[in-house]
Chains A and B, each alone.
Chain A
């Protein structure tokens, strides 16, 4: 079946990306990743991981309920978003070339999955628990808040609102992938862009914990920027969704890092960061 083919492709490609990146990161870090800490880390973040797991399962299970509820109580803001930003996405698509389309399609599907899964592997192998804990908390916040927003706001993306001006580049060039995306998401769930928020979350965490894995920072930054642009370039999200996604990411990382410090910080400064007294952007700047 097509769905199975797409799924197999994604798993295979993401696995390859994982192996490649582990090599690159280790090289850039200039030291072995410590495997010994894996068991310890898993034990330490077990409860957080369980919460994230429950949230993900619930997300899948209540997706139908969420959509029904959304049409009952949600606010249809498609027109408002369009009034706010106009034809920005259409202008962006004016730059389209076959190569860019191929690149952004790849990033949107494979790159995104890789970007989300790799930090978990990376930080699980690290001897400090905090990056892993912060990542899991931040993911959970992204999904949780995203889910609430999807119930409260009904919005269609530019590809569904401006046919003619905005092309659905991903699905016209690669229709099979819609078998996958229509299983995991609804076309009314675009505000905010979870693709953007989760990718930016990964990048902000890479900045925050760059001492833990210096090699990861450039990959995560380029990846997050690419995914954010891809969501608009492919006509799936509005600029508004992307900006909201970035805000959500900043919030999630701020809370995630704080929780990680409170729960797992033992006073010793294992990865060269110290606890920030102030909240906000200070957390990412260090």
Chain B
């Protein structure tokens, strides 16, 4: 933004003026120079939006360019910079080297308690999807803490107040909520229209309903995201999108099945009301890891310890390095005590029993593999930084306990998982629905292609069963024309957001962000960039029971209404708003920081 170099530049120019004019270096002159350097000169406000190229995401770049054009119309020089998904996440989530980004929020932020790690100021310095915006607001903090400890009407009121606060102060602007469009091969068998491809359980349903063929039956997924072919570490921030594949490789204690949190690796979870609440967890019998080692309660306890601090350091001397990906869940657990091989007692942190269930959804990791990954990560034997091996290991081959096991990968091209014979979920005693208990596929393969069009064609050609990553609206006619493929359109829970780095000048000002948000026409973005396969919304909890009525979309954004109509920015109104916020215009350019 150039603001960092403001002072030195001024000093330089003063020195230059002094030197060039063969000025007499009198005391009066130096006094004047000191006076001058005390004043800042105005600087144009410029931004750069980091986002994904079209190959990686069908809409992100088009959205960013549309936003940039509105910003430019309002006198803010804005450029767009595309980069690979892994790089974008590294720069914006790990290193906070960004001003603005356009990305999709992960699925997990539909759970109200997940907003804790997204927006609480305690996480403003933490890596990953933990407050990447650096947002700090005491009202929001208070509401977040209150919702964690309460239930019913009180929790609702805390969450509504939180959502109103963030709608006004805009740590990020929700651009649009896209529909996920996919192509699926009709003859594959499953009732595609009813499947949910956002979760591992959805894939288990596919595996259960697949049309069995004579020989080996393989569920073939084609994807535009190659990251899973090079990294299968559930804790690696910049490699995970939805966690579907790692969710098939690893088992959590409980999974959400048909909307209900159901014991999975556990046979029973007995919640004990108390202050704080606790649970007695009993694991299933005879569960083994994919390398045939037994899975015991010790592995579960180890996992929670590791997620809370991947160094496993037990003294208070060393800094903790928690897993960013599961910080929300692990922060809900206070202590895990092993009772015997199959039983353990979980003591939760100070939170309501309605909230703590989320803590049971983390992937359970094998102690005998991950115990060695607690040291500081090194390159060629030389430790680099403070991050632990657990967070940066590519974890290939992964040793999990899930219904599918890793077989092989070709980096950037393909990945193959095979069904585990005799997995506990297929035992009669487990009493899961048929589609889990009787899987029809023997293996699952992921093929990586260059763009969404190619992904759709691969399905149309019968060489894949479904596009694992969502494709762009421009491919819809192509899917429609194909005889072998059918079109799947589902509402998604992952909105596109324009994230602000509130640590930067101008963006640290909530009024400025609020005004920026009013330069964005969400309705127009949905209609024109996403061809109508989208709906506008204000907050990430839209469509859930926790969403306040006064934030519902009614022909416009109720919190930060667009300056203009139909995508046409009313420049005068925008300028007026920026002037009111303390900014000025010079030759049509927005400037700040003047005398």
Contacts and interface: CB of A to CB of B under 8 A. Distances in A.
What is the predominant secondary structure among interface residues of chain A facing chain B? helix
Interface stretch (B74-82, B209-217, B305-313): B74-82
A76 B97 CA distance: 14
B453 A168 contact: yes
B82 A160 contact: yes
Nearest to B474: A172
A63 to B, nearest CB: 9
B54 interface: yes
Given A78-B81, A79-B48, A79-B81, 12 more contacts: A2-B461, A76-B83, A159-B54, A163-B61, A168-B451, A171-B454, A172-B474, A175-B457, A181-B450, A182-B449, A182-B450, A187-B55
B9 to A, nearest CB: 22
B84 A71 contact: yes
B55 A79 contact: no
Contacts of B457: 175-176
Contacts of A178: 449-451, 453-454
Contacts of A161: 53-54, 61, 80, 82
A165 to B, nearest CB: 9
Contacts of B568: none
B65 A162 contact: yes
B84 A188 contact: yes
A187 B411 contact: no
B453 A172 contact: yes
25 contacts: A1-B463, A2-B458, A2-B461, A76-B81, A83-B79, A156-B53, A160-B54, A160-B61, A160-B82, A161-B61, A161-B82, A162-B65, A163-B54, A163-B58, A164-B65, A168-B54, A168-B453, A171-B453, A175-B458, A176-B461, A178-B449, A178-B450, A179-B449, A181-B450, A182-B449
Given A1-B463, A168-B453, A171-B453, A160 B83 contact: no
B396 to A, nearest CB: 14
Contacts of B450: 171, 178-179, 181-182, 187
Interface string A38-68: 0000000000000000000000000010000
A160 B85 CA distance: 13
B355 to A, nearest CB: 39
Contacts of B529: 164
Nearest to A173: B453
B411 A64 contact: yes
Interface in A158-211: 159-164, 168, 171-172, 175-176, 178-179, 181-182, 187-188
Interface residues of B, number: 30
A187 B454 contact: no
A232 interface: no
A70 B463 CA distance: 33
B412 interface: yes
A154 interface: yes
A1 B529 CA distance: 34
Contacts of B144: none
| Interface size of A as a range | 20 to 34
Given A175-B457, A179-B454, A79 B65 contact: no
Interface of A: 1-2, 64, 71, 76, 78-79, 83, 154, 156, 159-164, 168, 171-172, 175-176, 178-179, 181-182, 187-188
Listed from nearest, the 9 A-B pairs whose CB atoms lie closest are A182-B450, A160-B53, A175-B457, A178-B450, A178-B454, A175-B454, A163-B54, A163-B62, A156-B53
Interface in B62-96: 62, 65, 79-84, 86-87
A234 B463 CA distance: 26
Nearest to B453: A175
B240 to A, nearest CB: 18
A148 B450 CA distance: 23
Chain B CB count within 10 A is highest, among A1, A78, A83, for: A78
B87 A71 contact: yes
Contacts of A187: 53, 55, 450
B467 to A, nearest CB: 12
A187 to B, nearest CB: 5
A155 to B, nearest CB: 9
A187 B65 CA distance: 19
Contacts of B474: 172
A69 to B, nearest CB: 13
A1 B65 CA distance: 37
A188 B87 CA distance: 12
Contacts of A1: 463
A171 B412 contact: no
Nearest to A165: B65
A159 B61 CA distance: 11
B470 to A, nearest CB: 15
A212 to B, nearest CB: 39
A2 B449 CA distance: 11
Contacts of A154: 83
A108 B240 CA distance: 35
A40 to B, nearest CB: 42
A78 B54 contact: no
